[in-house]
Amino acid sequence: MTDIILGLIQETISGLALGCIYALIALGFTLIYKATEVVNFSQGEIMMVGAYIHFFFLNLLMALSGGLNGWIFLLAFIGSVIFAVLFGIIMDFIINKPLKGEPVFSVIMATISLAIILRSLTAILAGPLSIIPISPFGDQTFFLNGVVISILDISIIFSAITIMSGFYYFFNHTKWGIAMKATSADAEAAQLLGIPVNKVYRYVWIFASLVGVLSGILLAPRMALIDTSMSFLGLKAFPAAILGGFGSIKGAIIGGIILGIIETVSLGTLSFHFSWIKEINDIIVWIVLIAVLMIRPDGLFGVSKVKRV
Amino acid sequence: MKSRFENENLKWIPFLILFVIFLPFVLKSATFSYKYYLYVINLAGIYIILTIGLDILSGYTGLMSLGHAAFLALGAYFSAIMVDQLGIPFELSLFLTPLLVGCFGFVIGFPALRVQGIYLGLTTMGFGFIVKRLIIVFSSWTGGSSGLHVSDAKLFGWTINSDWENYFVIYFFVIISVIICRRLVKSKLGRAFMSIRDSEQAAIASGINLPKYKMISFFISGSFAGLAGVLFAHTSNFISTDHFDILLSVYFIVMLMIGGMGSIYGAVLGTLFIVLMENLFIPLFEDSLSKYMYLETGDFQAFIFGLIMLIFIIFQPLGFYGMWLKMKIYWKIFPFNPRKRFI
């Protein structure tokens, strides 16, 4: 019996780390959805590109200096962040600007096509080689009352908390954050009050791209290797965003964490004790999602919209 | 009584059907590799049946589906199991399977009554994943991920086992489907669908039973996908879960968007364009490009795919159908065009 409890605790911590990644990706969806009502299907691909770029910078710097130290990680991180900002601006130019006023469905399809382009382009440019990622925090584990805890998971959880609280501060206590909130509430009214709405949209895309790249950097060491199939994790973060209710930042974070824990626990201890779970553990997320949507069609924290004719 | 099609020019329809009938003969006399072309055109035919059904759902009723490959899979596996393992004749399966898959359309249509927009898209996507997993779970019937061999179709004692024969069977059903759908969207049912697409609130206010019509839309769409699945299983003779990927569902919507949503001929054109592009033109580029760099098969294809799609969405969101409409208007008021707004 204690075995099961210890296993559950261990997997919950691991699931919390995975859930934090889901939450970050879901945060990217939510940011864009809140501001522009567009569902960005390419968030998972941005994450994958982020992981690749981070690794590319690491490799480049290691080849230049001949060793591996903390500065290299920092420089590679800064390089990836700059890339993310540029990428966000490009996305704004490709997706947001030309498709203003088009039906939401076409914009969604545009993001899907961007996702296809990104995935295939990465596969063409980076080749079929799979890269083994490294982390600045190492991959040691330690014991705590019989529970095995990986330092990597802890570092992911803490980084994610830092990023999320950074975003929380930004949205609630800075000028641009409040401008973003105003724009997402009512773009026309915000424009009347002198908020540069187009600039706000560009910042939103930049932030979404930034969150995507950061989640990619965080996730990469947890994977055995980086390849283009990493972007399918973005599809798994969808249920997270939906579960919390699209458009609610709190919902995205909680939904992500819930799904991460459900997935890890069902994959581990539960599947050893109940063999039927093993058969369905890669779709359990979707079953939970459909069940929740049956009861609450707007997710756990979503607000149902009133439509005018 | 007035005909529904009175303001449409239908004279060219017989010529189109004649063209469909004589196309394989023309191909055979023109090229040696006509068998491959026929194979590609057959695939396009199967996808046309499915995209027409998807058009009823997405283009006419306005319900997003990101899991249509699941319906195709259900059709293919149901028919394969019924014909090969239960011994039901193919002719019966041809009618039973679309009905069965249509009932699955009911199952997935049920959430459509509560959830809307992107929530529905994600629910259908989840349905796609669940169906794919279920096929693996029931591997004693379906062969799991290693795939399933399917026997040739036997239609009233006539065994259909070459691309040549497949062509006529598939395009017979394509023509039937196009005719059914054209009549459907002009009927009371089609008008109800369109009113739901344009405004649900207004549709309710004018007395349209929303749940009923949404369910019917899912049923029709599922049935067409089921028919496509039957043809797919018995003409390709081998099915596995890899054939029904989530990306395929996305590609179906791409076909629809490039053809133009809310137009049956648009769906046909878009499907033909994408399938021919994918199988005939892109491999040519890929071959010449792979002399200079290493290319994994499919990557370049997907890249061109995404690019075409993005360009269409940005510059021509209504697809081929929109182009056609613009051209028609251009020629109608030809010398007095307000500005040069062609295409």
- CB atoms under 10 Å from CB of A78, counted, come to 11
Question: Which pLDDT does position B340 carry in this prediction?
Answer: 55
Question: Which pLDDT does position A303 carry in this prediction?
Answer: 65
Contact residues on chain B for A239, CB-CB shorter than 8 A: 122, 126
Mean pLDDT throughout B86-110? Answer: 87
- Token pair belonging to A222: 């947890």
**Looking at CA atoms only, how far is residue B260 from chain A in angstroms?**
11
| CA-based end-to-end distance of chain A | 59
Angle made by CA atoms B332, B333, B337, in degrees to the nearest 5? 140
Task: Compute the Cα dihedral for A166, A167, A173, A175 and give only its sign.
Answer: positive
Tell me how far apart the alpha carbons of residues B315 and A243 are, in angstroms, rounded to a whole number: 34
Q: Which of A260-274, B26-40, B251-265 has the lowest mean pLDDT?
A: A260-274
- Token pair belonging to A117: 């382009």
pLDDT in tens, A71-98: 888 888 899 999 999 999 998 888 888 8
Mean pLDDT throughout A50-60? Answer: 86
β-pairing verdict for A147-150 and A141-144? antiparallel
**Going by C-beta distance under 8 Å and a sequence separation of 6 or more, which residues neighbour residue A41?**
A108, A111, A112, A114, A115, A234
- Token pair belonging to B96: 């039973």
- Token pair belonging to A198: 């187009």
User: In this structure, are residues A156 and A222 in contact, taking their beta carbons and an 8 Å threshold?
Assistant: yes
Contact residues on chain A for B299, CB-CB shorter than 8 A: 120, 123-124
**Looking at CA atoms only, how far is residue B126 from chain A in angstroms?**
5
User: In this structure, are residues B119 and A297 in contact, taking their beta carbons and an 8 Å threshold?
Assistant: yes
Has residue B2 got a pLDDT over 60?
no
pLDDT in tens, B136-171: 888 787 777 787 888 777 777 777 777 788 888 899
Out of B119, B295, B314, whose CB is closest to A293? Answer: B119
Contact residues on chain A for B201, CB-CB shorter than 8 A: 307, 309
Average pLDDT over chain A, rounded to an integer: 82
Within the 176-205 window of chain A, which residues sit less than 8 Å (CB to CB) from chain B? none
Domain count, chain A: 1
User: In this structure, are residues A48 and A230 in contact, taking their beta carbons and an 8 Å threshold?
Assistant: yes
Out of A246, A280, A309, whose CB is closest to B118? Answer: A246
Has residue B290 got a pLDDT over 80?
no
Q: What percent of chain B has pLDDT over 90?
A: 18
- Token pair belonging to A21: 């990644």
**Looking at CA atoms only, how far is residue A153 from chain B in angstroms?**
28
Chain B residue closest in CA terms to A290: B123
- By the CB < 8 Å criterion, does A238 face chain B? yes
**Looking at CA atoms only, how far is residue A134 from chain B in angstroms?**
26
Question: Which pLDDT does position B6 carry in this prediction?
Answer: 57
Per the structure, the complete domain to which residue A135 belongs is given by 2-295
Question: Which pLDDT does position A84 carry in this prediction?
Answer: 92
Chain A residue closest in CA terms to B255: A109
Reported as a pLDDT band with limits 50, 70 and 90, residue B119 is confident
User: Any idea what the CATH number is for the domain that residue A172 is in?
Assistant: 1.10.3470
- CB atoms under 10 Å from CB of B25, counted, come to 11
Out of B247, B294, B313, whose CB is closest to A106? Answer: B313
Rg (CA), chain B: 21
Q: ipTM beyond 0.90?
A: no
Has residue A190 got a pLDDT over 80?
yes
Question: Which pLDDT does position B5 carry in this prediction?
Answer: 57
Chain B residue closest in CA terms to A42: B306
- Helix and strand numbers (H, E) in chain B are 15, 4
**Looking at CA atoms only, how far is residue B29 from chain A in angstroms?**
38
Chain B residue closest in CA terms to A279: B137
pLDDT in tens, A14-42: 888 888 888 888 888 888 888 777 788 88
Name all contacts of A123-126 with Cβ < 8 Å and 24+ positions apart.
A123/A228, A123/B296, A123/B299, A124/B293, A124/B295, A124/B296, A124/B299, A124/B300, A124/B303, A126/A52
Has residue B343 got a pLDDT over 50?
no
pLDDT in tens, B259-275: 888 888 889 999 999 88
Single-letter amino acid code for the residue at A109:
M
Reported as a pLDDT band with limits 50, 70 and 90, residue B15 is confident
User: In this structure, are residues A215 and A50 in contact, taking their beta carbons and an 8 Å threshold?
Assistant: yes
- Token pair belonging to B66: 């990101």
Q: What is the pTM of this model?
A: 0.85
Contact residues on chain B for A246, CB-CB shorter than 8 A: 118-119
Indicate yes or no: CB of B313 within 8 angstroms of CB of A99.
yes
pLDDT in tens, B42-94: 999 999 999 999 999 988 988 888 888 999 999 999 998 888 888 888 888 88
Chain A residue closest in CA terms to B309: A113
Question: Which pLDDT does position B227 carry in this prediction?
Answer: 93
Has residue A165 got a pLDDT over 80?
yes
Mean pLDDT throughout A147-166? Answer: 86
Angle made by CA atoms B119, B121, B124, in degrees to the nearest 5? 110
User: In this structure, are residues A250 and A244 in contact, taking their beta carbons and an 8 Å threshold?
Assistant: yes
- By the CB < 8 Å criterion, does A81 face chain B? no
User: In this structure, are residues A293 and B115 in contact, taking their beta carbons and an 8 Å threshold?
Assistant: yes
Indicate yes or no: CB of B122 within 8 angstroms of CB of A242.
yes
More confident residue, A145 or A293: A293
Tell me how far apart the alpha carbons of residues B73 and B50 are, in angstroms, rounded to a whole number: 12
Question: Which pLDDT does position B67 carry in this prediction?
Answer: 86
Chain B residue closest in CA terms to A128: B296
Has residue A231 got a pLDDT over 80?
no
Name the burial class of residue B201, with classes exposed (0-12), middle (13-18) and buried (19+) by CB atoms within 10 angstroms of its CB.
exposed
Question: Which pLDDT does position A136 carry in this prediction?
Answer: 72
Q: How many inter-chain contacts (A to B, CB under 8 Å) are there?
A: 127
- CB atoms under 10 Å from CB of B313, counted, come to 26
Out of A110, A117, A127, whose CB is closest to B303? Answer: A117
- By the CB < 8 Å criterion, does A166 face chain B? no
- CB atoms under 10 Å from CB of B99, counted, come to 12
**Going by C-beta distance under 8 Å and a sequence separation of 6 or more, which residues neighbour residue B36?**
none
- Judge whether A302 lies within some domain: no
- Token pair belonging to A61: 């710097």
Question: Which pLDDT does position A232 carry in this prediction?
Answer: 78
What is each CA distance from B131 to A162, B71, B211, in whole angstroms?
39, 9, 24
Task: Provide the β-strand partners of residue B163.
Answer: none
Greatest mean pLDDT among A40-44, B123-127, B134-138, B218-222: B218-222
